Amino acid sequence: MTRPAEPRVVARFTLCLLIGLAASGSEACRPKPKLEESAPKAASETKEGSALGTITGSVRLAPGATLPSYRAEDMERNVLQHIKGGTFPETCTPPKQSDRTPVLEGPDGKLIGVMVAASEFSQPIKRPRKVFDIVIKDCRLSPRMVVGQMGDMINLKNEVQFPFMPTYGANAYNETLTPGQSKALQLDKAGVDNVLCGFTAPCGRTDVVVVRHPVFAVTDETGNFKIEDFPADETVRISAWHPLFQDASVSVKVARGETKNVEFVLTPAPPPPPAANPEPAPAEAPKKK
């Protein structure tokens, strides 16, 4: 009997396909050489009149499942090891549990803020560079997920009367963003990272996924998505994914000019294992006799 793949292995496998790491020679994806076929061809190979279609659809939560949340420690960048847990500014509404729940359910049960992306296709798809705004409002980053293509930009904006220190990537340069100020950053590396704040105050979290092609979407406030310029006349893998969920994938083939609808059901991913070296609990004061 064939043993089923572990959920984390399957998720990594799908993520490698989506962001195109297989073609980049990443250690995480190198054992799967067939994935090289999923990388788009060079721009010089683009042919006029490429066959394109459209994919629409929605994503729902698996029956009986509850929406997963990030841990409190996953919501703030620890800039200095001896300073933990910045103070939430009084100018904003108090923090809530929902701040740590990045994917929400719409009125009809569809999931908001989930990435849907294609892989394993051969047609080169091009589009102009885009700029995605990530704004701090009410001391919270919005939107909670951004998906972009390599070469796109994110523009961090602070619309709160309080200085924040947002960073993109674990090794990013820390720079204070004063009220009304913005900072543009290029998405120059495929993979998954996040925007977090630290030191001055927390500001929520935005997950950023960078892929090597533009065939993707994020479910909107209604829980629906639409991918135009979808490769036609070939079987393409399309997946729904979020860091807190196990991925769901289907294979679809659309004809030139055709629109097909795809529905996904997502299951929350297993929680991460506890830290290998947890901090020791504080010693209790000796009881007085």
Higher pLDDT pick, 38 / 95: 95
- Asked if residue 275 has pLDDT above 50, the reply is yes
> Measuring CA to CA, which residue among 286, 251, 250, 255 is closest to residue 265?
250
State the pairing for strand pair 111-112/224-231.
unpaired
Say how many C-beta atoms besides its own lie within 10 A of residue 47's C-beta.
Answer: 9
Average pLDDT, the chain: 82
Return the pLDDT at 12. Answer: 57
Higher pLDDT pick, 273 / 25: 273
Return the pLDDT at 107. Answer: 84
**Residues 157-183, mean pLDDT to the nearest whole number:** 88
Return the pLDDT at 199. Answer: 81
- Out of 16-30, 66-80, 197-211, 235-249, the most confident range is 235-249
Q: How confident is the model at residue 175 (pLDDT cuts 50, 70, 90)?
A: confident
**Residues 28-53, mean pLDDT to the nearest whole number:** 46
- Out of 82-91, 108-117, 278-287, the most confident range is 108-117
**Residues 150-161, mean pLDDT to the nearest whole number:** 96
How confident is the model over 193-247, as pLDDT tens digits? 999 998 889 999 999 999 999 999 999 999 999 999 999 999 999 999 999 999 9
Going along the chain from its start, the domains and CATH numbers come out as 69-102+126-212 (2.60.40.420)
Q: Give pTM, 2 decimals.
A: 0.80
SS3 readout for 151-194: CCEEEEEECCCCCECEEECCCCCCCCECCCCEEEEECCCCEEEE
Q: How confident is the model at residue 46 (pLDDT cuts 50, 70, 90)?
A: very low
Return the pLDDT at 3. Answer: 45
Percent of the chain with pLDDT over 70: 73
Look at 17-21, 44-48, 186-190 and tell me which has the smallest mean pLDDT: 44-48
How confident is the model over 113-151, as pLDDT tens digits? 999 999 999 999 999 999 999 999 999 999 999 999 999
**Residues 56-70, mean pLDDT to the nearest whole number:** 97
Q: Are 91 and 179 in contact (CB under 8 A)?
A: no
- Asked if residue 273 has pLDDT above 60, the reply is yes
List strands edge to edge, sheet with 52-61. 224-231, 52-61, 259-268, 245-246
Q: How confident is the model at residue 86 (pLDDT cuts 50, 70, 90)?
A: low
Determine the distance from the C-alpha atom of residue 262 to the mean position of all C-alpha atoms in its chain, rounded to a whole number: 20
Percent of the chain with pLDDT over 90: 64
Q: How confident is the model at residue 25 (pLDDT cuts 50, 70, 90)?
A: very low
Return the pLDDT at 78. Answer: 72
- Distance, in Å, from the CA atom of 199 to the CA atom of 174, rounded to the nearest integer, reads 10
